[in-house]
Amino acid sequence: MKKVVTLAMGNGGIENMELIQKTIQRHLQNEYLTKAEDATPLPPLENPAFTTDSFTISPIFFPGGDIGKLAIAGACNDLAMMGAKPKYLSLSFIIEEGFSLRDLEKIVRSMKKELSINGAWIVTGDTKVVPKGSCDGVYINVSAIGERVISSSQENIAVGDRLLVSGDIARHGAAIFAGREGIELANSIESDCNSLWPIVEELIEADIEIKAMRDATRGGVAAVLNEWAMATNTTMEIEEGRLSIDEGVQGICEILGFEPFVLANEGTFMIVVDQNDAMRAQEILQKHNPHAAIVGEVSDSYPGRVTLQSEWGTKRFLDMPTGEILPRIC
């Protein structure tokens, strides 16, 4: 018989303890989790940064990852983008009655792997079970505390800075859509879902003057660039031809009728560096993904806007995304 999560496993009693101990804690054990009571005491933090992310992705398992990998990578990436080393994470499950215990364990194992890539620990947790039809399988919240090593922030962005992207874009959104709709393509598309702290650490160690970073998740590259342009009242000038898009991803975009600029990424980020460091930053990024590139620069020509220059030299504005763009991609 298939073992599944039952309502009793969310009761705060014996079955709840067993679920937590046997399926979750067993894989994530560490000295902090051992000490966890209502809250977990942590060592002092000098320059803490804090973030939260809930994950409701469908399907839960997708080419290139699953909700567990995504939850850890996603929350840790938010810290990495602020120049913070991921350290202490909370993990909260909302599980639908009847969810497979084997799938839950698979998700927890993915988390374990991703935690070790980030050098981070789950230090506190919570598990709720809701009746059938009150959740779609499993939802996960990860909140994360990190220590800031550098002060990257959109506040540092200045005219003349260079804009880089860490790889080819739109793979996560395209992979989720393909998986959800059962679209089979000759070259199956994998999500870019990945932890970014190791790359960020390499950039920091190479003394690259990082101004700002942001992973291009919901709303894609278009959302990041527009947020930066609006927040700093500058112009993000992008050369379209410098952005790489996988052929299969391009195909999915055509089916969807979406521009790849608005599709989500989960392991690809935009970075703003001082112009003198752009070439070195590109070299480091390209070691991880050959499609990483300097894609544009910050100017003051159209304050608060993003411009996209085609390979033929024509320019257009890239707007903030609007409407229903693939729900539940994260």
Instruction: CB nearer to its own copies: give 79 or 238.
Output: 79
Instruction: CB nearer to its own copies: give 94 or 281.
Output: 94
Instruction: CB nearer to its own copies: give 215 or 246.
Output: 215
CB 62 within 8 A of CB 182: no
Q: Which of 2, 133, 182, 184 binds its own copies (CB under 8 A)?
A: 133
Contact flags string 240-279 toward its own copies, x per CB under 8 A: ----------------------x-x---------------
User: Minimal CA–CA distance to 90: which of 140, 19, 47, 56?
Assistant: 140
Could you tell me the sign of the dihedral formed by the alpha carbons of 273, 253, 175, 58, in that order?
Answer: positive
Give the shortest CB-187-to-its own copies separation in angstroms.
Answer: 27
Look up residue 297 and give its two tokens. 């620069």
Give the shortest CB-51-to-its own copies separation in angstroms.
Answer: 4
Distance CA(21)–CA(29), nearest Å, equals: 9
Does 180 contact its own copies by CB under 8 A?
Answer: no
Instruction: Tell how strand 269-273 and strand 210-215 pair up.
Output: antiparallel
Give the shortest CB-271-to-its own copies separation in angstroms.
Answer: 12
SS3 141: strand
Give the shortest CB-223-to-its own copies separation in angstroms.
Answer: 5
- Point out which residues pair with 271 in neighbouring strands: 164, 213
How far CA 210 is from CA of 75, 83, 153, 236, 277, in Å, comes to 20, 9, 9, 16, 9
Subset of residues 17 to 76 that bind its own copies, contact rule: CB under 8 A = 17, 37-56, 58
Q: Which of 19, 65, 88, 258 binds its own copies (CB under 8 A)?
A: 88
Give the shortest CB-34-to-its own copies separation in angstroms.
Answer: 11
Q: Which of 19, 23, 66, 139 binds its own copies (CB under 8 A)?
A: 139
Q: Which stretch binds its own copies (CB under 8 A): 107-115, 145-153, 233-241, 294-302?
A: 145-153
Distance CA(82)–CA(193), nearest Å, equals: 19
Q: Which amino acid is at 283?
A: E
Does 148 contact its own copies by CB under 8 A?
Answer: yes
Does 201 contact its own copies by CB under 8 A?
Answer: no
Give the shortest CB-8-to-its own copies separation in angstroms.
Answer: 5
Q: Which of 29, 30, 154, 309 binds its own copies (CB under 8 A)?
A: 154
Give the shortest CB-102-to-its own copies separation in angstroms.
Answer: 22
Instruction: CB nearer to its own copies: give 78 or 161.
Output: 78
- What is the CB-side half-sphere exposure of residue 41 using CA atoms within 13 A? 2
DSSP letters of 108-133?
A: HHHHHHHHHHHT-EEEEEEEEEE-TT
Distance CA(95)–CA(5), nearest Å, equals: 8
How far CA 288 is from CA of 199, 234, 264, 285, in Å, comes to 8, 29, 19, 6
Give the shortest CB-256-to-its own copies separation in angstroms.
Answer: 14
- Point out which residues pair with 302 in neighbouring strands: none
Subset of residues 212 to 241 that bind its own copies, contact rule: CB under 8 A = 214-215, 217-220, 222-223
Subset of residues 294 to 323 that bind its own copies, contact rule: CB under 8 A = 320-323
